[in-house]
Structure 1
Amino acid sequence: MSLPDFGQQALISMLVSLIFIIVTWWALQSINLEKFIKAGNVIQARVLLILLTIVIASIVSNFFLDYLLWAQQLPFLF
């Protein structure tokens, strides 16, 4: 891999991660968390939701980026 390839890969990785963070946040908004929140702990619940969003988005984006890398490496099989 040449130096410009690393730059492109970094840009794609950042964009994919950001997209999956947005999609995960949107999807988690459908969960009714009020049932599970103690009274007066709204800020803690929001922090938990943000951390959960980051964790899920990270796992999904890593899978997507790994799959993309594997697809790019397939021509080397033949």
Structure 2
Amino acid sequence: MDSNLANNLTGNLGVSGLISIIVSLICIGLSWWSLQNLKLDLFIRHPKSAQGKLLQLLLAIVLGHFVSKFLLDYLTWSQMIKYMF
């Protein structure tokens, strides 16, 4: 009985981790895509240089992380509503 519960728990944790990774990568990709339209030449000297592209990548990672964290938190909160009643 305890072995079955442990297997279910580890399986659910694995699925949750996989969903988190996929949502995070999708949000980072969408952030990268949306940042392509940003005029970085207003803020940095050489936006086409390696440093400019690295800055754009880091901005996409940060923005994507915050968006995915919000979405995953919202999903968790919406699943907790069933415990109210």
Structure 1 length as normaliser, TM-score? 0.90
Q: Name stretches of at least 5 consecutive residues in structure 2 with no aligned partner.
A: 1-7
* Unpaired runs of at least 5, structure 1: none
Aligned residues: 78
Partner of 2:72: 65
1:42 is aligned to 49
Aligned counterparts of 1:66 and 1:26: Cα–Cα separation in 2: 23
- Greater relative CO, 1 or 2 (CA 8 Å, sep 6+): 1
* Structure 2 residue 59 is the aligned partner of structure 1 residue 52: yes
CA distance in 1, matches of 2:60, 2:47: 22
CA drift at 1:34: 2.3
TM-score, normalized by length of structure 2? 0.83
State the 4+ residue runs in structure 1 displaced beyond 4 angstroms.
Answer: none
Report the CA distance between 1:56 and its aligned residue: 0.5
